[in-house]
Structure formats: structure tokens, C-alpha cells
């Protein structure tokens, strides 16, 4: 990690910065994980005084945490600056002056880290502006998801980014990869022969990646109506987690090897069959302020993904996510096959390994055991391992972990363009010929067709 860093946060007063980035940065300060000397420069269109930005950050932390009283707030706030007037190829606003001032304080060799917490359609212009105004050389640049809004837009954005930056400078963030339980997907498998030996089509019946949400979209209606569940969740989070499950053992867990293994298996994703995809929209979505009354945006998607390689041939990956559903969960479940002998009549899908991704993460093992007594009666049982309860565990929230990795220069948990290109190819048929949108009641598990999609299996979360 560089000892001196200027961290530039574009979109510093926006929703993503408030909910995720600023709380993560303050958590790093509390944990002593920031560089020895640093400055955070917020950027936006408004003309905001440094003192007003500091008050804004204080209010954000009071609302979303960690509370300023729980950390080194006085030391933290004096390192917060704001550069107004926007930032574009035509005008840098006051950003160059503020960065120059920070570098006079920290030293001219202070490393630049740019975080683009802004809508994806602004990425190309901001990237070009970084190059135009001399802020790209040697810098690290973090792009939020989605990296592109269509296959064509992805290719155009990728060309723009590579015209200004070397790939080694680019950090495309997908916060599901920063979750403790997601990282345990490969650690548990590769560190334990018990699981490594069964991680294939001979032993696994299906894989379920299930991320229902009971929340709506009221706080970001405009963004969501232009995006939808397929772009916001399927081609990003769910595909990336599927790759974590499905990748071949990498040569090592070093950044390049881990990224290569993840991206390589995405290239084996069979393009989705629209007949095996269910799109839905919850009742009342079009009544939300900011939503088009005729909107056809999907707030739910369930899909059956197939991976065409020797390890996974014939194993369905069932992916599901949606808004205003019956519960909020983030679960990856490896469902093992049911033995056909010597115990007849065993219940289906009773043996499963589940990674609960939310919070600090938890690993669950569902199995069948003999119920103590004189009769041979088999009963289901569950063993749970909360990751936070491991000895000396120090779990970090995903944004905290990923921003820390950016500061370290570790790209292992960030996406690469080859994998993203393959992900867009896999979802292209659904974008070209989207299935008919089905309505579903709020508080339900989505359209009934999603249940049929899992047949002859069943979703293990909720229903």
C-alpha cells in the first residue's frame, strides 16, 4: 500500500457514496487500514465548501454508520475536501486545484485513486476527462457496476477505458465478490478434500444462487427503471457468484490466477435460453413516483444456466433475484444427489451445502442422520458455522474489503473484460428476445412460472 494517497470520490453526495463508500472509508479509518497519510476529495457539480462537505459526511455516518463518535472523527474530517463545478473534458471544475493543494501537502508522489460512484452512462466522459486533464497516469480507477448497459455499450466503454488506462489500473467492482462467504466458496473447496472430491456433476444435482429482496426501488426509481433485475443483478452479481462456484482450481490464489480461473469458466456459460428464463414485475411498481406508467422493466428474474464443460455438463445452475419478495436472503446452495441405495425412500435435496452471503456470512451443511433409538429412522439435520465466530475472526463488510484491496493494488476480487464480455454473450438472447413479463404480488416468491423453472427440483429458499 502506498504511504500517501489522494482518494477522489466522484458522485460524493450521491446515494451509493452515502450508503456504501463513505461508511466503508470511515470503517477503514477505524480499523487502521488506511495509508499513513491520505486525503479524500469529494467531487460533484455543486459548489460545496469543504466545511459543508465534512458536515455532509458526518450526517451520512450518523445515518448509515459507523457513528462518528465510534472512531477518529476529528482526525478523519480534516482530511476531507470537496471540489465542485463538476468534471468533464471541457472543464475540470475545481478538481485540479484541490488535488494540487492536496499534493502540496502530501507530496507530489502521492498515489491517485479515483472512485466512480456515478451512473454508468457517465463513465466514458469521466474516463476521457481523467486522461485529458492528466489525472490518469499511474492512477487506480474504480468503476461501479454495471460496467456497460448492453453488450454494445460494454464494448464501447471498454474501448474508451483502454484508450486512457492500462488494464492493470482498472478495478471493476462487484461487491458480491468481496463478501466473506463468497470468498469461502473457493477456500472451503480447495482447502478441504471432503468438498473438493464431490465438486462435480457426479455428485452435485443442482446449484442454486438465490438473492430475493423484500425491499423496493423507491430510493432509486429512476436508475432502476432504466436498468432492471437482469442488468442490475443477473449479468453482474449472480453470474460472478456462479463463476466462483464453477471455476476450475486455479494455479494459486494470486490475483492473476484467481481472475483467470473465474473468467475462463464464464466463457463456458451457455447463452441463456429465453424459454428457461422468467421475468416479472411486482404489482404496484408502475405507481411509484419516477416510474414510467407503461414501464416494462423487470423487477424479478429467474434463469436456468448451463455450463458446457466436463465438470458441470447437465447440472442446472438456478439463479433467482427480485424486488418486493417474501424475504431478503443471499444464499448459494450446492445440492447433492440423493443416494439410490442401500437406504430406499430418502427425501430428495436433503443433502446440501449452503453459503449464506449476507452479513458476516455463514456456512450450513444439511444432511441426513439416524435418529437415536431402536428403529432405523433417518431425520434431517443442519450444522451451522457462522464465520464471525471463528477464532480471532475480523470480518470486513464487502465494500470495506474491496476498497482496501484497491489501496493495496490487489485485483483478485475484481472483474476483467474477458469475463464480462462472455457474461454479456450469455445474456444476449434474453436481451434480444425477452420473455413475456409476468406480474407477481408483493411479498410473494415471484411469478409461479419460476417454481416450474426449477422442476424437477425445487427452490430451497422460501418454497
pLDDT, tens only, 238-262:
999 999 999 999 998 888 898 999 9
Spatial separation of the C-alpha atoms in residues 427 and 234, rounded to whole Å = 9
Q: What local confidence, expressed as pLDDT, does residue 17 receive? A: 96
Spatial separation of the C-alpha atoms in residues 289 and 294, rounded to whole Å = 13
Tell me which residue of 400, 366, 401, 413 sits closest to 385, measured CA to CA. 366
Q: What local confidence, expressed as pLDDT, does residue 333 receive? A: 96
13 has binding-site annotation? yes
Q: What local confidence, expressed as pLDDT, does residue 394 receive? A: 81
Q: Which domains does the chain have, with CATH numbers?
A: 4-144 (3.40.50.720), 176-397+410-453 (3.30.360.10)
145 has binding-site annotation? yes
CA atoms within 13 A on the CB side of 448: 0
80-83/352-356 β-pairing:
unpaired
Burial of 418 from C-beta contacts in 10 A (0-12 / 13-18 / 19+): middle
Which residues of the chain register pLDDT less than 70? 462-463
Q: Which candidate in 56, 114, 186, 237 is catalytic?
A: 237
Q: What local confidence, expressed as pLDDT, does residue 355 receive? A: 93
Spatial separation of the C-alpha atoms in residues 132 and 421, rounded to whole Å = 27
Q: What local confidence, expressed as pLDDT, does residue 223 receive? A: 81
18 has binding-site annotation? yes
Considering the entire predicted model, what is its pTM? 0.92
17 has binding-site annotation? yes
Contact 266, 247 (CB under 8 A): no
Q: What local confidence, expressed as pLDDT, does residue 462 receive? A: 66
Examine the residue annotation and report whether 50 is marked as an active-site residue of this protein: no
What is the separation of C-alpha 264 from the centre of its chain, rounded to a whole number of angstroms?
19
179 has binding-site annotation? yes
452 has binding-site annotation? no
215 has binding-site annotation? no
Beta strands in 4-110 (DSSP E): 4-10, 37-43, 80-83
- Return all residues near 206 (Cβ < 8 A) that are at least 6 apart: 315, 316, 317, 318, 335, 457
CA torsion through residues 184, 187, 190, 195, sign: negative
Spatial separation of the C-alpha atoms in residues 240 and 174, rounded to whole Å = 8
433 has binding-site annotation? no
Q: What local confidence, expressed as pLDDT, does residue 296 receive? A: 96
Amino acid at each position: 500500500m502506498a504511504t500517501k494517497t489522494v482518494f477522489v470520490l466522484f458522485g460524493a453526495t450521491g446515494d451509493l457514496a452515502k450508503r456504501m463508500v463513505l461508511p466503508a472509508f470511515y470503517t477503514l479509518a477505524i480499523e487502521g487500514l488506511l495509508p499513513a497519510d491520505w486525503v479524500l476529495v469529494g467531487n460533484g457539480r455543486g459548489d460545496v465548501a469543504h466545511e459543508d462537505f465534512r458536515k455532509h459526511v458526518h450526517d451520512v455516518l450518523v445515518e448509515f454508520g459507523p457513528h462518528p463518535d465510534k472512531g477518529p472523527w476529528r482526525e478523519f474530517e480534516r482530511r476531507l475536501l470537496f471540489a465542485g463545478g463538476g468534471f468533464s473534458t471541457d472543464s475540470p471544475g475545481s478538481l485540479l486545484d484541490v488535488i494540487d493543494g492536496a499534493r502540496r501537502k502530501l507530496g507530489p508522489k502521492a498515489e491517485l485513486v479515483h472512485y466512480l460512484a456515478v451512473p454508468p452512462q457517465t463513465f466514458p466522459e469521466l474516463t476521457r476527462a481523467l486522461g485529458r486533464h492528466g489525472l490518469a497516469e499511474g492512477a487506480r480507477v474504480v468503476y461501479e457496476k454495471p460496467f456497460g448497459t448492453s453488450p454494445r455499450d460494454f464494448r464501447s466503454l471498454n474501448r474508451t477505458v483502454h484508450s486512457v488506462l492500462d488494464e492493470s489500473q482498472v478495478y471493476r467492482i462487484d461487491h458480491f465478490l468481496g463478501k466473506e462467504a463468497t470468498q469461502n466458496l473457493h477456500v472451503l473447496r480447495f482447502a478441504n478434500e471432503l468438498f473438493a472430491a464431490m465438486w462435480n456433476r457426479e455428485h452435485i444435482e443442482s446449484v442454486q444462487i438465490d438473492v430475493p429482496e423484500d425491499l423496493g426501488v423507491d430510493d432509486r426509481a429512476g436508475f432502476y427503471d432504466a436498468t432492471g433485475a437482469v442488468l442490475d443483478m443477473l449479468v453482474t452479481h449472480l453470474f460472478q457468484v456462479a463463476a466462483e462456484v464453477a471455476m476450475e482450481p486455479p494455479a494459486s490464489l494470486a490475483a492473476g490466477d484467481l481472475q483467470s480461473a473465474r473468467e475462463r469458466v464464464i466463457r463456458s456459460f451457455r447463452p441463456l435460453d429465453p424459454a428457461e428464463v422468467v421475468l416479472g414485475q411486482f404489482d404496484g411498481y408502475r405507481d411509484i413516483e419516477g416510474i414510467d406508467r407503461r414501464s416494462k422493466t423487470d423487477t424479478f428474474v429467474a434463469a436456468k444456466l448451463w455450463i458446457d464443460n466436463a465438470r458441470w455438463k447437465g447440472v442446472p445452475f438456478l439463479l433467482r433475484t427480485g424486488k418486493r419478495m417474501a424475504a431478503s436472503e443471499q444464499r448459494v446452495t450446492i445440492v447433492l444427489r440423493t443416494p439410490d441405495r442401500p437406504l430406499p425412500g430418502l427425501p430428495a435435496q436433503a443433502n446440501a451445502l449452503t453459503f449464506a452471503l449476507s452479513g458476516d456470512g455463514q456456512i450450513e451443511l444439511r444432511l441426513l442422520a439416524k435418529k437415536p433409538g431402536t428403529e432405523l429412522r433417518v431425520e434431517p439435520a443442519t450444522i451451522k458455522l457462522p464465520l464471525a465466530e471463528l477464532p480471532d475472526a475480523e470480518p470486513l463488510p464487502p465494500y470495506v474489503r474491496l476498497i482496501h484491496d484497491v489501496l493495496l493494488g490487489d485485483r483478485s476480487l475484481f472483474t476483467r473484460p474477458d469475463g464480462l464480455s462472455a457474461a454479456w454473450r450469455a445474456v444476449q438472447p434474453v436481451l434480444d428476445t425477452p420473455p413475456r413479463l409476468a406480474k407477481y404480488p408483493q411479498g410473494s416468491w415471484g411469478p409461479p412460472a419460476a417454481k416450474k423453472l426449477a422442476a424437477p427440483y425445487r427452490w430451497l429458499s422460501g418454497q
